[in-house]
Amino acid sequence: MPPPDDAYSSAVAGSEASVPRAPVREFTGADPRDVLHEVFGYEEFRGDQAAIVAQVIAGGDAVVLMPTGGGKSVTYQVPALVRPGTGLVISPLIALMHDQVDALIANGVRAAYLNSTQAPAERSRVERAFLAGELDLLYVAPERLSAASTTALLQRGKLSVIAIDEAHCVSQWGHDFRPDYLNLGDLDERFPGVPRMALTATATRETHRELTERLRLPKAEHFVASFDRPNIQYRIEAKVDPRRQLAAFIRSQPAGTAGIVYALSRKSVEATAELLRSQGIDALPYHAGLPSEVRSANQSRFLRDDGVVMVATIAFGMGIDKPDVRFVAHIDLPKSVEGYYQETGRAGRDGEPALAWMVYGLGDVVQQRRMIDQSPGDRSYKMRLGQHLDAMLGLCETVSCRRQNLLDYFGQPSDPCGNCDTCLEPPDTFDGLVPAQKLLSTIVRLQRERGQAYGAGQLIDILRGASTERVRQLGHDSLATFGIGADLSDQDWRSVIRQLLARGILVARGDYGTLALAEPAGAVLQGATPVPLRRDVIGRAGGAPRVRKVSASDALDASDRGLFEALREWRAGVAKQLGVPAYIVFGDATL
Ligand code: ADP
Ligand code: MG
Ligand code: ZN
């Protein structure tokens, strides 16, 4: 597994922990609702919060699965204040730790952290405060807990609760694996009698089972919140020219809209941010290869200013609590549905409408399969990665509700949402049997007659009968299938190939993504299985603008205000209503 593109650890290096100050009052034994009220300023517990808090205050263990923004923090912060002793919070992100501790101190809570960015003097100050029983909450990075000295220190003091935040990091198969989490399995032995909590926003049954097992929480009560984020609209469209599609999508949003764009590579992050800037969009790059001062400057601008678009690798975002992120865009395919859900979950934390927008194409499928093939790891590891990818592809290719597909993946059945792209405009499907057979038989012939395998580009040239130099050189124009697919465009063929790959009818191999038949291809060649394919949507509400011709007569009443201005206004209204750019065409002039 490639190392996580984690940029946080050095982002806040050197920042001083604030000095714990006296609490507003002593809360040991207090009513949890009073604590919620007086310390955090919230009216009521939401959802499962009250039940979780009660379970832990009573000394029980808890596994908490709640989406990002659901309010997991107070479920350990309140018990930490109500129970005697210090609440220990294990959190993988040093930057996040710092923010949380600052926020707690501002609320009069005696909080501190221990991590590798601290000066020794600062660290021993925190240690002394802990031993003197002067801390309500102590945040530590997981690698600290792997050190025997930290355990020894913590055993000399008194712990009220142990909260393992971002507990999915214990899963080796997940999207955020942190090896140090594997050492958290024996906390029950190191700190007997202290209630333990595992909290995460990742909710697949698989991760749930795995973290319960690895963190040894057999007696825990489980609290599983709904993972639906009803204010997020999901849209996935075919990738043609991702950066231009992205720019068009962003321009279709109201000016000054804050968003996050995820790209796979650092290079792509930089190029994308640059392109957006050249189009007048206030975009900033963020990835682990940037100097830490640039990263933290960009992050603070994103958090502080309105309308900044952060273009980032997945290093950006965990623990970023910016409530008014209006969109999360992916220009590369995430490796798993969990990753996609986490990343898109950073949109609309304020509950206002937000968008999860993504483009995805044949290249993504080929690239990700290649990355899996080349990843160091045994067969079963690669199989797991393959299953994650398949689920992600299923979400992309579905012709039914995206939200339903997503929630189903988390084991939460639901009805179609009526708000995602496939609900709003159900994609056309077509019978893909004949094109699939044309493609598969071309691959078979090349293999049998020439002993050769090719990638999508060559195959499409053959099918479309493109007489390129390469085709002639290789003698492909003499193949029996040369030109039998001229009825479909290059883009159509890419879509067919992508969908056959996504369904495991084709496999892509090696650096060049050469295509070969997978087992189910036999039945397709025999015509024994239907091959319904979806017709791609490109540029709906963003992407390459679709021109809609509209009648101008509705606007003529407004002639006294100046026909031209009225028409312009009217056009803007239509565009907004349709969610696509609209133009008024007079003969050959366009307004
Ligand atoms: P999570 O860790 O689950 O992503 P947080 O604990 O960071 O979520 O909380 C998300 C947001 O919800 C925060 O802004 C927090 O202030 C707010 N919040 C949490 N609990 C409540 C509550 N009971 N009432 C009002 N706001 C709350
Ligand atoms: Mg959290
Ligand atoms: Zn839907």
ipTM of the shown complex: 0.98
| pLDDT class of 12 with cuts at 50, 70, 90 | very low
| pLDDT class of 151 with cuts at 50, 70, 90 | very high
Query: Mean of the pLDDT values across residues 382-393?
Result: 89
| pLDDT class of 571 with cuts at 50, 70, 90 | low
The alpha-helical segments, DSSP class H, found in 398-520 are: 402-409, 421-424, 433-445, 456-464, 469-473, 490-502
* pLDDT of 240 over the 70 cut: yes
DSSP lists the bridge partners of residue 330 as 262, 358
Ligand nearest to the CA of 346: 1
* pLDDT of 326 over the 70 cut: yes
Q: For position 562, what pLDDT does the model report? A: 55
Secondary structure (3-state) at 395: helix
The answer to whether the CB of 68 is under 6 A from ligand 1 is: yes
Ligand 3 center from residue 336 Cα (angstroms): 19
Handedness of CA 212, 215, 217, 221 (dihedral sign): negative
Ligand 2 center from residue 118 Cα (angstroms): 22
Ligand 2 center from residue 432 Cα (angstroms): 45
Ligand nearest to the CA of 323: 1
Query: Mean of the pLDDT values across residues 19-29?
Result: 64
Q: What percent of the chain has pLDDT over 90?
A: 64
- 63 phi and psi angles, rounded to 5 deg: -110, 120
Q: For position 67, what pLDDT does the model report? A: 87
Are 317 and 289 spatial neighbours (Cβ–Cβ below 8 Å)? no
Q: Which residues contact 180 (CB under 8 A, 6 or more apart)?
A: 92, 141, 142, 143, 145, 146
Q: Tens of pLDDT along 157-190?
A: 999 999 999 999 998 777 678 899 999 999 999 9
Higher per-residue pLDDT: 95 or 466: 466
Ligand 1 center from residue 65 Cα (angstroms): 14
In this structure, which residue's CA is closest to atom 12 in ligand 1? 71
| pLDDT class of 2 with cuts at 50, 70, 90 | very low
Ligand 3 center from residue 524 Cα (angstroms): 30
**How far is residue 76's CA from residue 61's CA, in Å, rounded to a whole number?**
11
Are 485 and 464 spatial neighbours (Cβ–Cβ below 8 Å)? yes
Mutate which of 46, 78, 223 for ligand 1? The one with the most ligand atoms within 8 Å of its CB, which is: 46
| pLDDT class of 580 with cuts at 50, 70, 90 | low
Instruction: Tell me the pairing of strands 309-312 and 259-262.
Output: parallel
Q: For position 19, what pLDDT does the model report? A: 45
| pLDDT class of 588 with cuts at 50, 70, 90 | very low
Ligand nearest to the CA of 345: 1
Q: For position 205, what pLDDT does the model report? A: 83
Q: Which of the residue ranges 15-19, 112-116, 367-371, 388-392 would you say has the lowest mean pLDDT?
A: 15-19
Ligand nearest to the CA of 405: 3
Average pLDDT score over the chain: 86
Q: What percent of the chain has pLDDT over 70?
A: 86
Q: For position 380, what pLDDT does the model report? A: 84
Question: Which amino acid is residue 114, in one-letter code?
Answer: L
Q: For position 463, what pLDDT does the model report? A: 96
* pLDDT of 191 over the 90 cut: yes
| pLDDT class of 213 with cuts at 50, 70, 90 | very high
In this structure, which residue's CA is closest to atom 9 in ligand 1? 71
Q: For position 570, what pLDDT does the model report? A: 67
Instruction: Tell me the pairing of strands 585-586 and 589-590.
Output: antiparallel
Ligand 3 center from residue 233 Cα (angstroms): 8
The answer to whether the CB of 35 is under 6 A from ligand 1 is: no
Query: Mean of the pLDDT values across residues 327-340?
Result: 94
- Closest atom of ligand 1 to 36 CA is 23
Q: Tens of pLDDT along 431-469?
A: 999 999 999 999 999 999 989 999 999 999 999 999 899
pTM confidence score: 0.75
- Closest atom of ligand 1 to 321 CA is 7
Higher per-residue pLDDT: 96 or 468: 468
Question: What is residue 198's DSSP assignment?
Answer: E
Ligand 1 center from residue 75 Cα (angstroms): 10
The answer to whether the CB of 229 is under 6 A from ligand 1 is: no
* pLDDT of 369 over the 80 cut: yes
* pLDDT of 552 over the 50 cut: no
Query: Mean of the pLDDT values across residues 197-215?
Result: 91
